[in-house]
Amino acid sequence: MKRLDVIDGIRGYFLVFMLINHLVFAGGYWLVEINHRQFTFVEDAQGFVFLSGLLIGMVYARRMLKEGYAAGRDKIWARAFELYRYAMALVFVIFVARMILPDAPQIWANWLGERGFNDPLRMGSIATFLFQPTYMDILPQYIVYMVFAPALVWLCVTDRWMIVAIGSLIVWMAGQLGLHRGLTFPVDALLGGGPEQEGMRASFNLLGWQIVFFSGLIAGALTSVNKVKWTEVFSPEKTFIPLTALAICLFFLPLRIATAHGFMPDFMLQKFATMEVRADFGPVYLLNFAAVAAGLAWLLIAGPRHKNVYVQRVSAFLTGLFTLSYLRLLGRHSLQVYVWHVIIVFAVYYVDGHTPEMSQLTKTAIAFVSIALLSLPAIYRERDSFGEPQRVPVAAKKAAGSMPR
| pTM score | 0.87
Name the nearest CA neighbour of 234 among 317, 311, 161.
311
The ranges assigned to domains in the chain are: 54-322
- Of 162 and 182, which is predicted with more confidence? 162
Range 213-241 average pLDDT: 92
Closest CA to 318 of 288, 285, 291, 292: 292
Cα 102 to Cα 169, 180, 308, 354, distances in angstroms: 48, 40, 60, 10
Residue-wise pLDDT for 163-208, tens only, equals: 999 999 999 999 999 998 888 888 878 777 555 466 778 888 999 9
**What's residue 206's pLDDT?**
93
At residue 388, the pLDDT reads 57
Geometric angle at alpha carbon 97, from 96 and 103, rounded to 5°? 120
Q: pLDDT, tens digit, for every residue of 98-135?
A: 999 998 989 998 888 877 787 888 888 889 888 888 88
In the chain, what's the furthest Cα-to-Cα distance?
Answer: 82
Give the model's pLDDT for residue 393: 47
Closest residue by Cα to residue 324 from 376, 391, 386, 375: 375
Tell whether the model's pLDDT for residue 344 goes beyond 90.
yes
For 353-382, how does the pLDDT look when each residue is reduced to its tens digit (9 = 90+)? 888 889 999 999 999 999 999 999 999 998
| For residue 210, pLDDT beyond 60 | yes
Helix axes 161-176, 138-157, angle to 10 degrees: 150
For residue 399, name the pLDDT band (cuts at 50, 70, 90): very low
Res 218: pLDDT: 96
pLDDT on residue 191: 77
Rg (CA), the chain: 23
pLDDT band, very low/low/confident/very high, at 96 (cuts 50, 70, 90):
very high
